[in-house]
A = this chain, B = another copy of it.
Amino acid sequence: MNSELSSQQVQDIGEQGLLERLQRFCPPEIIGDDAAVLVTAPKQSLVVTTDVLIDGVHFSDVTTSPEDAGWRAAAANLSDLAAMGATPLGITVGLGLPGKVRVSWVERLYQGMTQCLQKYNISIVGGDVVRSPVTTLAITAFGQVNPDRIIRRSAAVVGDAIIVTGVHGASRAGLELLLHPELGQDLNDEEKTALIRAHQRPQPRLDVLPILWKILTPNSQLPIAGMDSSDGLADAIIQICRASGVGAVLERREIPVPKTFNHWLTQEQVLEYALYGGEDFELVLCLPQELASALVQHLGEGAAIVGSITSGSTVLLHDEQKKFPDQVLSLSQGFQHFNS
C-alpha cells in the first residue's frame, strides 16, 4: 500500500467507493441485491444475535488495532451462537463512520472480522455503511441449531455439575498488561504475549459443540443449560441460576485460571479477574455429574467442574480449605453501561 492510499479518508472515496473496497471481504454471490440469501439445513431452527460496539466505549485505538477490534467483534457474536448450541451461517455488518476515518483502518477492521470468520468457514453476508459522528460497528450473526439441542439459560436443575471451558481472567489480564506495560515484571515475553493474545484474539468455543453432542448422544432429549462468559464468569453463573430458579455453589480452587497468574497477581486479583474480568468467551454449561465428567475429560485445556447447582437462589463461593469465608456472588461488580 503506498502512502497516498494509506492516508486516504472515507470522505475521499464516498459511500460507493468504500462499499466497493469492502465487497472483496464478501463472497461474490451475495453482492448486489437488497438482501443476502443463505441456505439453511433442513429441520434446523434459525438463531440470531446482535451486538453494537462504539468507538471509545467498546474499543479504542489505544489498546486495540483495527484488526483486533474486528476479530473481537466477530468472536463475541459467534460466542453467542455457541452459547445457544448453534453452528454459524454468517454475519451482517452495519458500520457508522466519520468521514475522516482512514479507508485503511476500515479495511483492517474487515480483515480482522474475516480472519475470525474464516476459522469457521463463514463470511460477511451483508451490511450497511453510513456516515456517523462516531465509529459504530453493529454485527448480527445467524446460525442454525437442531431444535432438540438448543442450549438455554433456563434449563439448569438442582444437582447439575457446573462446567467451565478453558481458563478465566486471561482477557482481563491481557488488557491490564496493554494498559499498564509496567505490570507483570515477573512474566517472560511469551507469557505476556499469551495473555495479551487472549484479550486481542478470543476464540469462540464453537469447537465444544460437536464434543458436547457426542457425549449427549444417548441422552438426545436432555435439556442443556448454559451460556457464554462474555460478561464474566460470575455473571454467567448468576444469569443461569436466575433463569432456572436455582442457586449454585462454586469451589474457589476449582476455577481454572492461567498458570501464570500466581507469578504477578494477588489471590484477590486472581479471583476478581477470573470471576468479573469478562470477555473470555468461554462456555458455562450445566449437566448431570456423569456427563459433566465425560465432557471435561474430552475438552482438556483448563476445562473443569467448578461447582454444582443447588436449590435456593444464592450463588455461593466456597473454600474447601476454609481459608476464606463463604461469599455470596452478585452482579454488582459487573458493568452498568449507562451509569457513569
Which residues on A are within 8 Å of B, measured CB to CB?
Answer: 10-11, 13-16, 18, 32-40, 42-54, 56-58, 79-81, 83-84, 86, 89-90, 92-97, 99, 125-134, 136, 138, 140-143, 145, 147, 150, 152-154, 227-228, 243, 335-340
Contact = CB atoms under 8 A, between A and B. Distances in A.
A35 B94 contact: no
Given A35-B81, A54-B132, 11 more contacts: A10-B338, A15-B338, A34-B228, A35-B80, A37-B84, A37-B147, A42-B42, A49-B92, A49-B126, A54-B136, A58-B130
B50 A128 contact: yes
Total copies of this chain within the assembly: 2
A179 to B, nearest CB: 20
Contacts of A127: 50
Contacts of A79: 34
27 contacts: A15-B338, A16-B336, A32-B243, A33-B152, A33-B153, A34-B49, A34-B153, A34-B227, A35-B80, A36-B48, A37-B45, A40-B40, A48-B90, A48-B92, A48-B126, A48-B140, A48-B142, A49-B92, A52-B129, A52-B138, A54-B132, A54-B136, A129-B337, A130-B337, A131-B338, A138-B138, A142-B142
Nearest 4 interchain pairs by C-beta: A138-B138, A35-B49, A140-B140, A52-B94
Nearest to A228: B34
A46 B142 contact: yes
A195 B19 CA distance: 33
* Residue of A37, A154, A340 ringed by the most chain B CB atoms within 10 A: A37
A36 B40 contact: no
Given A46-B142, A145-B37, A52 B136 contact: yes
* Residue of A35, A93, A132, A338 ringed by the most chain B CB atoms within 10 A: A35
Contacts of A49: 34-36, 92, 126
Contact of A50 (B89, B94, B153): B94
* Residue of A42, A95, A128 ringed by the most chain B CB atoms within 10 A: A128
B14 A337 contact: yes
Nearest to A242: B32
A113 to B, nearest CB: 14
A87 to B, nearest CB: 12
B15 A337 contact: yes
B84 A52 contact: no
Contacts of A130: 52-54, 57-58, 337
